[in-house]
């Protein structure tokens, strides 16, 4: 379904490592930022790397049948209300995207209610809501195909429009429950190990959420070796589209900053859709959700920052974006020892 993923340029990676050693600083003095700048250079295939000037955020929105199980502090109707807020500019993702000069795109994949949003937002909509995955499939075979095709098409559109770094955001009551199911299915973790506090739930709600994940896992385990079947059985249209978006971005050799638990759960599936895709992703932050930490470990990704966040929407990735942009510019624009006329000890 996806073309093979080529890794970032290894020769450019080595050139970037060599360049860091020639810049006016002690070896390794910029810590993890040096790794980030090196990764961007390798993704771009050029050293010094080009500055990041066209970041793009795509928020995938959808409702989830498990939201009716009492597993969130918010009612299921809040998804549609938040969608309208995002479109009109009042969400955290709107503020953070504007602060970064990042273009923002909202995609309604499966919001249950009809909303007064532009047709472009609903262009790829697959259905109204998704099945309650503790008792039924999230999608039909045709719906999961449409969602995957949508995610791939959206990635192609953004890359063709000239973006130089992508961020996937999420919106949907109950999506942290679906993410926990996917992570448990793909890592072998127990339900109690993947369920966090999500929207800020109390102990009684947490127990209900664990029970939903436990029941859903009984269905997910049978199909976990088949990523499309897993998306159909245990995900949702928005998360299926997000997984395809992440996979296709890697196929198109475009770096992606992963956000939190939902995005990284989709990334676990994307890595199975397009093996090697993880090389094109940077973990922007570590959220407080235990499923996020398990997914990052499975992908072998080290988060750039840890601000105890669990908000979603792409917010953590947008907060990390300036660090990525600065690391890129330092690698490209700092003076070398030779240019400064300084004799290096190396």
Domain with 19, as residue range(s), is 10-50+330-340
Instruction: Report pTM.
Output: 0.97
Query: How much of the chain exceeds pLDDT 90, in percent?
Result: 97
The residue-averaged pLDDT of 48-60 equals 98
Tell me: do 188 and 165 sit in the same domain. Answer: yes
**Residue tagged active-site, from 34, 158, 271, 313:** 313
- 150: pLDDT confidence band, cut at 50, 70 and 90? very high
Distance CA 67, CA 197 (A): 14
The residue-averaged pLDDT of 16-33 equals 97
Q: Residue 196 has which token pair?
A: 């966090």
Tell me: do 42 and 145 sit in the same domain. Answer: no
Q: Which pLDDT belongs to residue 43?
A: 98
Tell me: do 318 and 334 sit in the same domain. Answer: no
Query: Catalytic annotation on 190?
Result: no
Whether 3 is covered by a domain: the verdict is no
Tell me: do 281 and 336 sit in the same domain. Answer: no
- Please report, for the domain that includes residue 239, its CATH number: 3.40.50.10210
Q: Residue 111 has which token pair?
A: 């919001």
Q: What is the pLDDT of residues 59-98, one digit of tens each?
A: 999 999 999 999 999 999 999 999 999 999 999 999 999 9
Q: Which pLDDT belongs to residue 344?
A: 64
Q: What is the pLDDT of residues 192-244, one digit of tens each?
A: 999 998 888 999 999 999 999 999 999 999 999 999 999 999 999 999 999 99
Q: Put the strands of the sheet holding 55-62 in their side by side order.
A: 103-110, 55-62, 165-171, 256-258, 281-283
Q: Which pLDDT belongs to residue 345?
A: 57
Reduced to 3 states (helix: H, G, I; strand: E, B; else coil), residue 262 is helix
Tell me: do 237 and 334 sit in the same domain. Answer: no
Distances (CA, A) of 125 to 105, 137, 193, 312: 14, 18, 33, 21
Tell me: do 26 and 158 sit in the same domain. Answer: no
Tell me: do 103 and 187 sit in the same domain. Answer: yes
- 343: pLDDT confidence band, cut at 50, 70 and 90? confident
Q: Which pLDDT belongs to residue 303?
A: 97
Q: What is the pLDDT of residues 245-265, one digit of tens each?
A: 999 999 999 999 999 999 999
Q: Which pLDDT belongs to residue 199?
A: 82
- Please report, for the domain that includes residue 24, its CATH number: 1.10.1610.10
Tell me: do 18 and 95 sit in the same domain. Answer: no
Q: Which pLDDT belongs to residue 79?
A: 97
Q: How many domains does the chain have?
A: 2
Whether 346 is covered by a domain: the verdict is no
Q: What is the mean pLDDT of the chain?
A: 97
């Amino acid at each position: 379904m996806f073309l093979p993923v080529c890794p970032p340029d290894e020769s450019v990676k080595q050139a970037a490592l060599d360049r860091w050693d020639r810049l006016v600083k002690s070896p390794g003095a910029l810590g993890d930022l040096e790794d980030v700048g090196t990764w961007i250079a390798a993704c771009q295939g050029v050293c010094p790397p080009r500055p990041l000037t066209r970041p793009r955020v795509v928020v995938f929105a959808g409702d989830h049948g498990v939201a009716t199980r009492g597993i969130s502090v918010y009612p299921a109707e809040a998804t549609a209300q938040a969608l309208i807020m995002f479109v009109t500019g009042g969400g955290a993702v709107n503020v953070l995207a504007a602060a970064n000069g990042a273009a923002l795109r909202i995609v309604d994949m499966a919001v249950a209610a009809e909303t007064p949003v532009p047709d472009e937002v609903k262009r790829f909509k697959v259905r109204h809501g998704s099945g309650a995955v503790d008792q039924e499939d999230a999608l039909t075979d045709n719906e999961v195909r449409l969602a995957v095709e949508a995610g791939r098409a959206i990635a192609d559109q953004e890359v063709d429009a000239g973006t130089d770094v992508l961020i996937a955001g999420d919106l949907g009551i109950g999506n942290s429950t679906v993410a926990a199911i996917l992570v448990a299915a793909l890592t072998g973790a127990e339900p109690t190990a993947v369920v966090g506090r999500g929207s800020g739930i109390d102990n009684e709600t947490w127990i209900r959420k664990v029970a939903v994940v436990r029941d859903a896992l009984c269905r997910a385990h049978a199909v976990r070796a088949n990523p499309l079947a897993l998306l159909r059985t245990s995900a949702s249209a928005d998360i299926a589209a997000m997984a395809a978006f992440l996979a296709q971005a890697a196929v198109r050799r475009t770096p992606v900053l992963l956000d939190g638990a939902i995005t990284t759960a989709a990334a676990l599936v994307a890595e199975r859709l397009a093996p090697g895709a993880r090389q094109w992703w940077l973990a922007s932050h570590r959220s407080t959700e235990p499923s996020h930490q398990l997914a990052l470990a499975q992908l072998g990704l080290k988060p750039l920052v840890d601000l105890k966040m669990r908000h979603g929407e792409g917010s953590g990735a947008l907060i990390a974006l300036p660090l990525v942009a600065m690391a890129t510019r330092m690698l490209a624009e700092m003076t070398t020892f030779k240019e400064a006329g300084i004799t290096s000890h190396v």
